[in-house]
Structure 1
Amino acid sequence: MKGVVISMIVVLAMIQFMVKPGQAISCGQVDASLAPCVPYLTGGGNPAPACCDGVKNIKGMAATTADRRAACNCVKDAANRYSNLKDDAAQALPAKCGVQMNIPISKSTNCDVIN
């Protein structure tokens, strides 16, 4: 099972590098960036450095309002796939990584109001 998860992460990371500049942010990019955060988001503690790198990556990719809204919807979809996601850990993730971000990590965010 671990091998399958690692393979999926590698594939998602490869997809991230295949997207041409100027294209909208994709859920594959967001999922690949947040994959290292799953242990923190479901178990608490402190996020791994790779997780914080992913959060910073998302912030860098989400340069426009449309990108931030797309990333928000991807994050929301990803959050809803994990029934054991700790909402308080998710909301604290950007701050724990030292990143100020306008994209909340939550199952219930209204992404249409993101600027």
Structure 2
Amino acid sequence: MKGLVISVIVAVTMVQFMAEPGETTVVSCDEVDECLVYCVPYLTSRTGYPSALCCVGLAKLKKIAVTTAEKQTACSCIKEAAAGFPSIKEGVASSLPNKCNVQFNYPISKNTNCHE
């Protein structure tokens, strides 16, 4: 009986360390797509600036993807969506946060590792 109680305590402790509060993924690819849909024209062109709606969406994405898990999910969603647009310019994509004055600590790119 004592061994069972210790096993349960150890299991509960492990679960608490694995699932810290705030580390659940609540960001969906649909939400990420909605945030970035207005950026596609800018990302696929050679010149110009992102639209105001693009920058608003980028700022919204930053607000909804806060935890590490959410950022990783958003990054994976961005990579998946970018794969459908082979004409996206990597240099343009990497400059998007600066052009919108929205600082990210994860890339807007299809060629990145989302789980760094």
Q: TM class by shorter-chain length?
A: 0.7 to 0.9
Q: Give how far 1:79 is off.
A: 1.0
Counterpart in the other structure of 1:103:
106
Alignment of 1:19-58 (within 5 A): 24-43=26-45, 44-58=47-61
Count of residues in Structure 1 that have an aligned counterpart in Structure 2 = 92
**Offset of residue 81 of structure 1:** 0.8
Q: Counting helix residues as a fraction of each chain, which structure ranks higher?
A: 1
Q: CA RMSD in A?
A: 1.2
Question: Which has the larger Rg?
Answer: 2
- Say if 1:79 and 1:105, in contact at 8 Å, map to a contact too: no
1:84 aligned to 2:90?
Answer: no
Unaligned runs of 5+ in 1: 1-21
Displaced runs of 4+ in structure 1, greater than 4 A? none
State the TM-score, normalized to the length of structure 1: 0.77
Identity of aligned residues (%): 47
